[in-house]
Structure 1
Amino acid sequence: MDAINDRWCLHIVRAVAFGASRYTDILREVGAPRDVLSSRLRKLTASGILQQHSPEQGRPAGYELTRKGRDLGHVILVLKRWGDTHGEDGVPQVDFVHDGCGAVFVAEVRCQACGEPVRSGQVSVHPASPGC
């Protein structure tokens, strides 16, 4: 949580996940002051969520999500669902379409063992099992 515990970090991860990779693209999408954006990009890179990539084959230098960052993208999908459900009227929404089947994708938390959806209040907290 320390890596994303401020106002800007999740916005930056979302912008990169949605296709912004160059500094100027991220700046436009996020709207953070330049010094703040630079600081957060360094923080997210140091924590292994983003990595810089060099220009190659017509692709400009910029940032991309690491595996750790792409896994954080799952959290953003669940937050999007929460925002769509409880957001204010008049806020534009977007749909995510599953490239595999073409249907609108809605993130849902499910139990890995039984496959059932899990809602708040349906879980309890226990010490982690060895090997987790």
Structure 2
Amino acid sequence: MEDVVEASWTDPECPVARAADLVGDRWSLLIIRDAMDGARSFTDFQQRTGIARNILTDRLRKLTAHGLLEHVEAPTGKRRRYALTDAGKDLFPVVVTLRQWGERHAFEPGEPRSVLVDAHGAVVPDVVPAAADGTTLTSDTTSVLKAPS
């Protein structure tokens, strides 16, 4: 992202706002989610999400320009493929936390849904922010220090 200058950040000093500016729309997050789940080609992303081709083109271009995805050589060498960069992979805890929030708040009891499991088939435990001493952190136990003016 160092080479990309965002013309107008929503809130230039807020990391949450900048992250939302980069991946806060639904399509970008679903593309990142699907890349984490093995999608690599334009067709993969289009079929998994049902996104319109023009919107997908725009989001892939944006995610690549901001260093979340990169172009990689396809085994056949015929088509561009996409892979998560380290910055894209760093979104994994964000996607897991958003998924877990959705499990708790976006489904009715008993409603069918997908489940995230580890390599052994065990359900991934809740992601919970913790202080250095291991105590759970919440919005009630943290605060934001504003950047100096």
TM (norm. structure 2) is: 0.74
Q: How many residues align?
A: 126
Tell me the residue number matched to 1:25. Answer: 44
Residue of structure 1 in register with 2:88 after alignment: 69
RMSD: 2.3
Q: Using the TM superposition, give the Cα deviation of residue 91 of structure 1 relative to its aligned residue in structure 2, in angstroms.
A: 4.9
Q: What's 1:55 paired with? A: 74
Question: Is the Cα–Cα contact under 8 Å of residues 98 and 105 in structure 1 kept in the other structure?
Answer: yes
Gaps of 5+ in 1: none
Q: 1:10 and 2:29 equivalent? A: yes
- Normalized against structure 1, the TM-score is what? 0.82
Contact 2:131/2:137 (<8 A) preserved: no
Identity %: 38
Equivalent position SS for 2:94: helix
Cross-structure match for 2:15: none
Provide closer, same or farther for how the CA distance between residues 65 and 122 of structure 1 changes in structure 2, counting only shifts above 3 A.
same
The alpha carbon displacement at 1:73 in A equals 1.8
CA–CA separation in structure 1 for the residues paired with 2:59 and 2:101:
25
CA drift of 1:102 comes to 4.6
